[in-house]
Amino acid sequence: MNLLAGKRIVLGVSGGIAAYKAVEVCRLLVDAGAHVMPVLTGGATRFVGRATFDALASERARMSLFDEEDPIPHTTLGQTADCVVVAPATARVIGSYAAGISSDLLTATLVATRAPVVVCPAMHTEMWEHPAVAANIATLVGRGVHIVGPESGHLAGGDEGAGRLSPPANIAAAVNRVLEARRQPSDMDGLSVVVTAGGTREPIDPVRYIGNRSSGKQGHALADEAVSRGAQVTIVTTVDRPAPPGAAVVRVDTAAQMAEATAAAAAGADVVVMAAAVADFRPVAPVGVKLKKRDGAPAVHLEPTPDILAALGASKPPGQILVGFAAETCDLVRNAAAKLRDKGADYIVANDVTAQGAGFACETNEVLVLSSDGRVHSIGLRSKRQVAQAVLDLVVADRVAQTAQQENQ
């Protein structure tokens, strides 16, 4: 199925000998009906002329971050693209993208976009096999970037090995597959969804607090995914991360603030996802001025914070689906099952934060999802957005089953 027709595709071309093949990639995308916006690095023009892309693409090629017609071309390109494809992608561009370094228009566009990205590496074998390049590719894969190639074959130096740019037809087909994979039905259209994210901070004094290492990445990935599937989303968050367009954002710090905001938002919600890491204890009497070291170590007396998930489970209206999270360091299944039983949730998403790639602040996650009906779903290591997709797939299936049951009664 051709899903390229009418799609806005940024074609990034970086400075490698394989840049000449990007001309064919451009032609194939245009012939399929895509609106192709070429972005060339300075190095690319050492191998292929800008005028070639001006003639073949849907608009003139761009090269500079500083454009008289558009003061923020990287933002414009990033926000309007349906897909960004980089062919060829050199080791420099891959490294800059992995590190978030926006030193030219192409890397700035990559950092500025939320569209799917297809990276097509091309370089000599020794470069492709270098540990730094391998680590950068792994980083990008963990963030959900699609990698096409490279292939083995004759290289520019006259020898053979891995590093040859994938054929243009394969690249165009890969872009089509990526767009097809993202063409999902609005299966949460009209649903009201509340997501919590981040770790709460319980003050000891105006400077210090009791907290945890939660980055909020998984919670925000869930909010992003729910919005993309048509839901009306409220995100209650402690972190200053971008929220998806159209989502209502409630920023909080403490467990008490999160409890109040979540209870208000959840009252009429169809789905509540408690992805936040809420502190279990807080100081009984935080002081109003900064404690001084010269006064000696203070005695900090703690008390339990509100149990937000248990309160939501106890007051859950009929039909609402409640998803809790459990960050554990041992006995993952036993602890998650106890939490599922005690809190009144429909699902508990549990992960071992000591596992490689699944802890706090990672770009990836690996979880077990325990259901109140006894099912256990294993979601292997993947990007946090992909974990969000899998979790919400379960929620949607649950909603469909509820609807079918009501219709049969």
Q: In this structure, what is the dihedral angle of CA atoms 310, 315, 317, 323, given to the nearest 10 degrees?
A: -10
- Centre a 10 Å sphere on the Cβ of residue 54 and count the other Cβ atoms it contains: 12
Instruction: Find, among 227, 300, 219, the residue nearest to 258 by Cα.
Output: 219
Structure tokens belonging to residue 267: 């009252």
Structure tokens belonging to residue 347: 């699902």
Backbone angles phi, psi at 366, to 5 degrees: -140, 120
Backbone angles phi, psi at 195, to 5 degrees: -125, 135
Q: Using CA atoms, how far apart are residues 52 and 95, in angstroms rounded to an integer?
A: 27
Is 212 part of the annotated catalytic residue set?
A: yes
What residues does 367 pair with on adjacent strands? 379
Using CB atoms within 10 A of its CB, is residue 351 exposed (0-12), middle (13-18) or buried (19+)? Answer: buried
CB 266 within 8 A of CB 286: no
Catalytic residue among 2, 170, 176, 212: 212
Q: Using CA atoms, how far apart are residues 22 and 38, in angstroms rounded to an integer?
A: 10
Active centre residues (catalytic): 212
